[in-house]
């Protein structure tokens, strides 16, 4: 059964656990995308389907479908977004094992 949160084990003994809602990671990814002037979440899908969060084998996996403004360097834009999302999640949650997968599903003209 899928949960709506990610459970993080604390490295300190008897410190308890931390549960972070998947929506937190989705909001971080969305905020990062909105800051970028050449990308758009895929309009054909709802927000919750454009950004999918899973937590597998102690790794946070973020899958994003987006559209890129036509005429721009897609690879550079995607690499920049992946790094920004990874760095923001690390800074805000201390989770370092993050995989950001981005699928370009179209272009904006």
Q: What is the CATH number of the domain that holds 80?
A: 3.30.300.30
Number of domains comprising the chain: 1
In a domain, 11, yes or no: no
Q: How many Å apart are CA 108 and CA 59, to the nearest integer?
A: 32
DSSP assignment, residue 43?
T
Q: Which band of pLDDT confidence, cut at 50, 70 and 90, is reported for residue 43?
A: low
**pLDDT > 90? residue 102:** yes
- Please return the burial class of 4, using the count of CB atoms within 10 Å of its CB with bins 0-12, 13-18 and 19+: exposed
Is residue 12, in this structure, part of any structural domain at all? no
Residue 11 tokens, joined: 């490295």
pTM to 2 decimals? 0.82
pLDDT at 44 over 70: no
Q: Is residue 86 part of a domain?
A: yes
Burial bucket for residue 96 (CB in 10 Å: 0-12, 13-18, 19+) = exposed
pLDDT class of 1 with cuts at 50, 70, 90: very low
Kindly state whether residue 71 falls inside one of the protein's structural domains.
Answer: yes
Find the largest Cα–Cα distance for the chain: 55
User: Is the confidence at residue 42, as pLDDT, over 60?
Assistant: yes
Three-state secondary-structure class, residue 104: strand
> Does the residue 60 lie in any domain?
yes
Cα angle value 22/33/46 (rounded, 5°): 60
For residue 93, is it within any domain?
yes
* Residue-range definition of the domain harbouring residue 96: 22-108
Q: In the predicted model, what is the mean pLDDT of residues 36-64?
A: 79
- Decide if 68 is inside a domain: yes
Note the pLDDT tens digit of each residue in 76-101. 999 999 999 999 999 998 889 999 99
Task: Look at residue 28 and tell me if it is in a domain.
Answer: yes
Please indicate whether residue 67 or residue 100 has the higher confidence score (pLDDT): 100
């Amino acid at each position: 059964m899928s949960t709506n949160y990610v459970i993080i084990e604390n490295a300190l003994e008897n410190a308890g656990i931390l549960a972070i809602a998947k929506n937190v990671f989705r909001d971080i990814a969305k905020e990062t995308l909105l800051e970028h002037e050449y990308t758009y979440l895929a309009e054909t899908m709802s927000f919750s389907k454009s950004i999918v969060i899973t937590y597998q084998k102690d790794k946070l996996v973020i899958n994003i479908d987006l559209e890129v403004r036509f005429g721009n360097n897609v690879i550079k834009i995607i690499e920049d977004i992946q790094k920004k999302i990874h760095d923001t999640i690390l800074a805000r949650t201390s989770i370092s094992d993050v995989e950001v997968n981005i699928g370009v599903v179209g272009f904006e003209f």
